[in-house]
Amino acid sequence: MTHPLLDLAPLTAAHFAAVERRLASLLATENDVVIMQGEALLPLEGCVRGGARPGSTALNVVTGPYGQTFGNWLRDCGATVVDLEVPFHTAVTAAQVERALAARPEIDFVSLVHAEAATGNTNPVAAIGEVVRAHGALFMLDAVASVAAEPLLPDAWGVDLCVIGAQKAMGGPAGVSAVSVSERAWERFAANPRAPRRSYLSLLDWKERWIDTGRRALPHAPAQLEMLALEACAERVEADGLETVMARHASAAAATRAGALALAGGLRPFVTEAADAAPVATTLRTPAGVDAGELVARALAADPALPLIAGGGAWAKEMIRVNHYGTDATPAAVLSSLRALGAALAETGAPVDQDAAERAVRDIWR
Amino acid sequence: MTHPLLDLAPLTAAHFAAVERRLASLLATENDVVIMQGEALLPLEGCVRGGARPGSTALNVVTGPYGQTFGNWLRDCGATVVDLEVPFHTAVTAAQVERALAARPEIDFVSLVHAEAATGNTNPVAAIGEVVRAHGALFMLDAVASVAAEPLLPDAWGVDLCVIGAQKAMGGPAGVSAVSVSERAWERFAANPRAPRRSYLSLLDWKERWIDTGRRALPHAPAQLEMLALEACAERVEADGLETVMARHASAAAATRAGALALAGGLRPFVTEAADAAPVATTLRTPAGVDAGELVARALAADPALPLIAGGGAWAKEMIRVNHYGTDATPAAVLSSLRALGAALAETGAPVDQDAAERAVRDIWR
Amino acid sequence: MTHPLLDLAPLTAAHFAAVERRLASLLATENDVVIMQGEALLPLEGCVRGGARPGSTALNVVTGPYGQTFGNWLRDCGATVVDLEVPFHTAVTAAQVERALAARPEIDFVSLVHAEAATGNTNPVAAIGEVVRAHGALFMLDAVASVAAEPLLPDAWGVDLCVIGAQKAMGGPAGVSAVSVSERAWERFAANPRAPRRSYLSLLDWKERWIDTGRRALPHAPAQLEMLALEACAERVEADGLETVMARHASAAAATRAGALALAGGLRPFVTEAADAAPVATTLRTPAGVDAGELVARALAADPALPLIAGGGAWAKEMIRVNHYGTDATPAAVLSSLRALGAALAETGAPVDQDAAERAVRDIWR
Amino acid sequence: MTHPLLDLAPLTAAHFAAVERRLASLLATENDVVIMQGEALLPLEGCVRGGARPGSTALNVVTGPYGQTFGNWLRDCGATVVDLEVPFHTAVTAAQVERALAARPEIDFVSLVHAEAATGNTNPVAAIGEVVRAHGALFMLDAVASVAAEPLLPDAWGVDLCVIGAQKAMGGPAGVSAVSVSERAWERFAANPRAPRRSYLSLLDWKERWIDTGRRALPHAPAQLEMLALEACAERVEADGLETVMARHASAAAATRAGALALAGGLRPFVTEAADAAPVATTLRTPAGVDAGELVARALAADPALPLIAGGGAWAKEMIRVNHYGTDATPAAVLSSLRALGAALAETGAPVDQDAAERAVRDIWR
């Protein structure tokens, strides 16, 4: 019995390499791009374990939960970790990073999440990259939630390790992901005796077995269907135009913020400054006395597919997150989310102005 | 370059026959099932052109636009056509059909649309089948909009030609479609010198070249991907349970009707009696002075993907149709449609009670 | 349960139109291209029934079974049919067509198959087009087996109706197909009261409902998956280069011919002149006393997937057809076919030189 | 633009769990089955790093290259490694394992590859399992190349960690893979402070975040398309019947072995005893003086898609591997491989009897 997902001719090395080149072009990078065969956590973990070691000192910028994960990995590698935590409702500033670096000249690794979908903020990577480069540390950026949603220029910004996934603004698969690796990063990995080697976590394996041998044979069988989906979504972003795709996400973020304020039910943007708000997700604070989990549950009762989630961890009771990426980066999706939140708020007795929210959304999109 | 939709091993005759059997089981029919390689209009046209000829008298029940199409085909075949037109806001009754048959004993062909998505009504096929069988005419039923949405039992109801497509309640492809053919229908076709033969329209070709030769070789290359999708959606209906799928559609229809009334903006169900309302689409009349096309355009401005359409032809100015089939047969989709209509009505100055509509929808679903 | 072939967002009119443009570009045509939602038999039948009528006189060139099918359709339309039959082992010449036209000045329709896969020949369309144009008749060409396998330039050659499918050299789906329609052809259809209208066979429906209304809404739901596959295979042909794809098919034909001769088991090319041989399939005559059906059955015993078929109809006992299109237009596939034939011949006691056949194939490909 | 591989509704936890159950049924296991989101190397590495630690003593049976890989991982974990190497042209015996265990009572981990595609041998796991269980060590089995090709009963055989992939006999995707984990194995992992935790390599993460929480939310976004393909290939194995699929592979192995011997060109089975030969791949020794790489290159010149590979590492000059799994576990595919090898051998001047090889293959299959 024939099936569209089975018995495909194997993905050739040339085809795999062509997808790599497409991603390199999307990132405007001259560095090597490695497409690892797992979710973005895989290259992120590979970068941390390759770049950090006992004796390393890492500045780990924490603007959300992924930053916390990176800190755990760094400590697990034996590195001394300086956590630069900023309140999750803001972004970190280049000046803060600069001060942290100046205080600890031995810092040789900096990890940063570009945009944190979970907390809804985004960080000024260009400016931060400048101070990191001046300091000389290796700079790792988690750009999963920013790629195709806002400008991302790893080479121009001095990012040594830029990790992306396709599952957010690119509207693609989550099962494979990529990282651009600077020459400096390769050298750091090579010099680290504890960097993963002969391991599913190993970036060096890809360098030695794939890149350095002329991209003739893959080190192991790829996730072919995810690769084909990755190629298709990259093609679609190119066809739509990267600028257009980014503009859609910016509008979705602005409309969600404006609409939530206009709704007047007591929701407030969690991220104080609009300039610090991520283009893929907007986080909102619930009014006093309104439990976020309950509010979201009520909103999802009507439509479980709406891109709404209650905050995680410490924010579980007071934060709501509205995702607006990929096919949800549209006025209609934003409106549906706001209406459902509005209706759920109205049930709590809050005064709600659904029409004002709708007008606010439409004003942004015009 | 490998691609999931290209270079599949050809669909075997055995696989094709297995899909036929699956559809026969869905229809609980012992008759032959022919899967024609085109939209449902193809088997419908093939049935009319095979069953009607100069000298035939056909009773064509018109409860919507498809009935009108069948009348045109019947006349094109040289048949005398008795159009039994009922107002589109009702269903035809078995008694009406019985009277029409009694008035013209020579009627030898009856065509009926089970559910008309365009007008939102559904007809009592079981009772009608009884009187048609008593009369002795060949009975053709267009069940595209009813299959998997409401009970459909062609053999038990005496339907000779039951045409189905997968694109509505089955959530499947539109590019292939099927018809169950009774022995009587095959005989009628065979006796009709003007029945399509050696033609893309021909059902007899399928009988002679496919069925009568033991289903060993297809008469022409099939639309393989559509066949695979048809199989997948039939499997899914089986896995979910046909009863469950039908119940979802019934609830969606009831909720849309109740919600539209509760909205209080002046929308009224087009189909007067709830019992006559189709489970795949609900048609609504706009308030006096409100143009349906403009109202729908306003509602779609926010979300062009909403399953809303203005009525066609004579109803363009005063009918709105809410589709609620397949993935739209859910409380969430119904709510989104009603909310968008409510907001559009509010813009015209009509008083609208969105909350009441929402409660009405939820009450139905509980 | 989510499935890659179900619940796709509907194919937009713009997307459909983009596929049309891609095919127009492949055909280098300025004429309208209509993508009909069925196998290529559908547009072929639509063209014949649109172009012919009682009072028409058609020159039907018969170089294989499809020509015979067209003759039947033409007669069914009430046209006077002049069948120009040439032995299937040759091609028709422009001079033959010219003489036939001169003998019957009233001929107003000419039907021709470019390449006949079943008989393995191909016809000189450019030269024939010139004489048809000089005569003034409408010229319909079945190019299903030639598109992407050999040059095809409908506009330059004066072809009014050029029908293509993707299932041969394009390596694509069979479930949708296309036809380029000249202005003259549209006029002929429009003037024909018996041309199919409001019918699945109707090209005029597509003109009136799709083209003339600005390609804003499709006349009926399309075979979406087949359309996506058609687009994908057209993209692949473009990426590989149309010239390259054609060259692969030319080499496959030459290699099959040379290899069969070198095999020395008594197989002879059915088509006498290499210049008349089709690039998608090579037909071979079996040695005296060797039944073609039995030989093919023996060859397929080892590999039922080999692209070998015994001839149809009158040729069932003495003709073997080797397909070599799409993924079979490679040295390896040609070699596998020849080896299997060689082994089957050897079993009949014929002297066979497999090595010579293999050398012959490789010589061509170098 | 809609695309079959993009914008799928996310795979639900329930759907993911259903695929797990299907694999558990295929393995006839009552243990937990974890589907890891990467190639089979990922769960294999996870098992080794979870099961071994400083202080562990591992018996690593080496019957091919994967055994060598496991040894490296084990040493990397700080375990004392006892490599039980057997010549790659044989299988290990239960008696050998028993002696090795008796010599080192402290052995607490045993790693074994069931079938090694690279060397073409397969090991008697049932008997080995018995002695390992008697000894009390944790038993890890790499069954990627045996699942669906030969009997595999982890629970009955006392296998604690049984790793499978779908890319060989199951004819499925390589991008996700699975492991059944016994209660004992979970306990070992939990007690190992160096077992991967909060890592892409971690099986414990899956236990804590997925299994122990009721399989309600996946720990990270899955490789959805690979999961759907895995489900489809498991369904196909069930539909064909696991016994039937295994029988096809057994026949393919027997036919390749017999055919290679009958070919008489000097090829000899690398694995001495037929009982030790793997059902997914047959390894052959080239005649003296014939370079394996050159022979394979010559054979592939005609058909680069043939499942032939020269041996790796030390065997590069004298070993040829014929794969015969999935769609290649057919008489036709086996014949094509042997013929191509035969032709390539003939070119070296070796006497070759292609007909005898063909007869031998067919005799097996009857």
- State the pLDDT confidence band at D117, using cuts at 50, 70 and 90: very high
Query: pLDDT tier at B2 (50, 70, 90 boundaries)?
Result: confident
Looking at beta carbons, which residues of chain B come within 8 Å of A335?
A: 302-303
Mean pLDDT for B26-40 is: 98
pLDDT at A245 over 80: yes
Q: What is the largest CA-CA distance in chain C?
A: 66
**Strand, helix or coil at A58?**
strand
Mutating which of C22, C263, C303 best tests the D interface, going by the most D Cβ atoms within 10 A? C303
Task: For residue D4, give the chain C residue with the closest CA.
Answer: C4
Residue A125 CB-half CA count within 13 A: 30
Q: Is the pLDDT of residue B302 over 80?
A: no
Provide, as residue numbers in chain A, all residues whose Cβ is less than 8 Å from the Cβ of C4. Answer: 4-5
Check pLDDT > 90 for residue B40: yes
Distance separating alpha carbons of residues B287 and C345, to the nearest angstrom: 81
Which are the contacts of B25, defined by CB distance < 8 A and separation ≥ 6?
A: none
The pLDDT-based confidence of A265 (bands split at 50, 70, 90) is confident
Instruction: Give contacts of B69 with chain C, Cβ < 8 Å.
Output: 198
Under the banding of pLDDT at 50, 70 and 90, the label for residue D146 is very high
Query: Is D228 close to A5, i.e. CB distance below 8 A?
Result: yes
Confidence of residue D304 (pLDDT cuts 50, 70, 90): confident
Q: What is the pLDDT of residue D358?
A: 87
Chain C contact for D346, CB < 8 A?
yes
Average of per-residue pLDDT values in chain D:
96
Q: Which DSSP string do the residues of C130-147 spell out, in sequence order?
A: HHHHHHT-EEEEE-TTTT
Residue D265 is predicted with a pLDDT of: 87
Residues 6+ apart with CB under 8 A from C54: C77, C78, C79, C194
pLDDT at B18: 97
φ, ψ for residue A48 (rounded to 5)? -65, -45
**B228-245 pLDDT tens trace:** 999 999 999 999 999 999
Whether C174 has its CB under 8 Å from any CB of chain B: the answer is: yes
**pLDDT given for residue C58 in this prediction:** 98
Pairwise CA distance, residues A354 & A350, whole Å = 12
Above 80 in pLDDT, residue B1? no
Would you state the pLDDT for residue B271?
Answer: 97
Q: Is A305 part of the contact surface with chain C (CB cutoff 8 Å)?
A: no
Query: Which CATH code for domain C242-365?
Result: 3.90.1150.10
* pLDDT band at residue D157 using 50, 70 and 90 as cut-offs: very high
Which residues of chain C are within 8 Å of residue A5 when distances are taken between CB atoms? 4
Domains of chain C, residue spans:
13-239, 242-365
Our CA angle for B115, B117, B120, nearest 5°, is 80
Q: Rounded CA gap, B74 and B79, in Å?
A: 6
Query: Coil, helix or strand for C35?
Result: strand
Give percent above pLDDT 70 in chain D. Answer: 100
The answer to whether domain B13-239 and domain B242-365 are alike in fold is no
Q: In the structure, what pLDDT confidence band is assigned to residue B189 with cuts at 50, 70 and 90?
A: very high
Q: How far is C200 from chain B (nearest CA, A)?
A: 6
> Tell me: the pLDDT tens digits for C300-329?
987 888 999 999 888 899 999 999 999 999
C2 vs C363, more confident:
C363
Calpha distance A279→A272 (Å, rounded): 14
CA distance B219 to chain C (A): 11
pLDDT at position A285 over 90 = yes
Which amino acid would we find at residue C238? E
D72 within 8 A of D44, measured Cβ to Cβ: no
Low-confidence winner among B145-149, C115-119, D73-77 (lowest mean pLDDT): C115-119
pLDDT category of residue B58 using cuts at 50, 70 and 90: very high
Task: Give me the DSSP letters along B209-277.
Answer: IIITTTS-S-SS---HHHHHHHHHHHHHHHHH-HHHHHHHHHHHHHHHHHHHHHH-SS-EESSSSGGGB
Nearest to D5 among A38, A223, A229 (CB): A229
pLDDT, tens digit (0-9, with 9 covering 90-100), for C146-175 = 999 999 999 999 999 999 999 999 999 999
Q: How close is the nearest chain C Cα to the Cα of D11, in Å?
A: 7
To the nearest whole Å, the CA of B4 is away from the closest chain D CA by 9
Q: Does D341 touch chain A (CB under 8 A)?
A: no
Tell me the shortest Cα–Cα distance from A173 to chain C, in angstroms: 13
Residue A302 has pLDDT above 80, yes or no: no
Interface predicted TM-score (ipTM): 0.96
Q: What is the pLDDT of residue C322?
A: 98
Chain A nearest-CA residue for B337:
A336
List all chains that touch chain C, counting a touch as 3 or more CB pairs closer than 8 Å.
A, B, D
Under an 8 A CB cutoff, do B38 and C3 touch? no
- A304 in reach of chain B (CB within 8 A): yes
Q: What is the per-residue pLDDT across A53-101, written as a single tens digit (0 to 9) for each?
A: 999 999 999 998 899 999 999 999 999 999 999 999 999 999 999 999 9
**Three-state secondary structure readout of C301-328:** HHCCCCCEEECCHHHCCCEEEEECCHHH
3-state secondary structure of B59: strand
pLDDT for B197-233, tens place per residue?
Answer: 999 999 999 999 999 999 999 999 999 999 999 999 9
Mean pLDDT (whole number) for D278-304? 93
- Closest residue in C to D15 (Cα–Cα): C1
Per-residue burial over D119-131, b = 16 or more CB atoms within 10 Å of its CB, e = otherwise: bbbbbbbeebbbb
**Pick from D8, D332, D354: which is nearest to C4 by CB?**
D8
Measured between CA atoms, the residue of chain D closest to residue C6 is D4
Mean pLDDT along residues B14-21: 97
Each residue's pLDDT tens digit, D43-67: 999 999 999 999 999 999 999 889 9
Show Cβ contacts of residue A26 under 8 Å, excluding neighbours closer than 6 positions. Answer: A147, A148, A234, A237, A238, A242
- A1 and D236 within 8 Å at the Cβ level: the answer is yes
Total-model pTM? 0.94
- pLDDT: is C33 or B333 the higher one? C33
CB contact at 8 A, A246 and D196: no
Lowest average pLDDT, out of A106-120, A315-329, C302-316, goes to: C302-316
Give me D218's structure tokens: 């996946």
Examine the pLDDT at D113 and tell me if it is beyond 80: yes
DSSP state of D123: -
Indicate the average pLDDT of chain B. 96
How many angstroms separate the CA atoms of C319 and C120, rounded?
Answer: 10
**Does residue C134 have a pLDDT over 90?**
yes
* pLDDT exceeds 90 at position D264: no
Q: Check whether D123 has a pLDDT greater than 80.
A: yes
| pLDDT higher than 90, residue C2 | no
Q: Is the pLDDT of residue A124 over 80?
A: yes
The C residues from 215 to 244 touching D (CB cutoff 8 Å) are: 224-225, 228
pLDDT tens for C90-114 read 999 999 999 999 999 999 999 999 9
What DSSP string runs through D221-239? ---HHHHHHHHHHHHHHHH
Q: Which class does domain C13-239 fall in?
A: alpha beta
Give residues with Cβ within 8 angstroms of C292, minimum separation 6: C286, C310, C311, C315, C316, C317, C318, C319, C320
D6 touches chain B (CB under 8 A): no
Give the per-residue pLDDT at A182. 98
pLDDT digit string, tens, across residues A138-183: 999 999 999 999 999 999 999 999 999 999 999 999 999 999 999 9
Strand order in the sheet with C57-62: C32-36, C177-181, C161-165, C138-142, C109-113, C57-62, C80-85
pLDDT at site C360:
95
Does the structure show a pLDDT above 80 at D283? yes
Using the predicted structure, report yes or no on whether residue A218 has a pLDDT greater than 90. yes
Selection from A81, A110, A108 nearest residue A97 by Cα: A110
pLDDT at residue number A243: 98
Q: Comparing D18 with B354, which gets the higher pLDDT? A: D18
Q: Is the pLDDT of residue B57 over 80?
A: yes
**pLDDT given at position B210:** 98
Asked if B9 has any chain C CB less than 8 Å from its own CB, the reply is yes
pLDDT for residue C302: 74
Residues of chain D with Cβ-Cβ distance to C332 below 8 Å are 302-306
B174 has a chain C CB within 8 A of its CB: yes
How large is the average pLDDT for residues D171-197?
98
Nearest CB neighbour to D335, from listed C8, C224, C302: C302
Of B4, B336, B354, the CB nearest to A8: B4
pLDDT at D286: 96
Higher pLDDT, A199 or B315: A199
Least confident of B8-12, B134-138, D19-23: B8-12
Whether residues B232 and C3 touch (CB distance < 8 A) is answered with: yes
**CA separation, residue A46 to residues A140, A166, A201, B51 (Å):** 11, 18, 5, 69
Tell me the shortest Cα–Cα distance from D224 to chain A, in angstroms: 7
Q: How far is B41 from chain D (nearest CA, A)?
A: 24
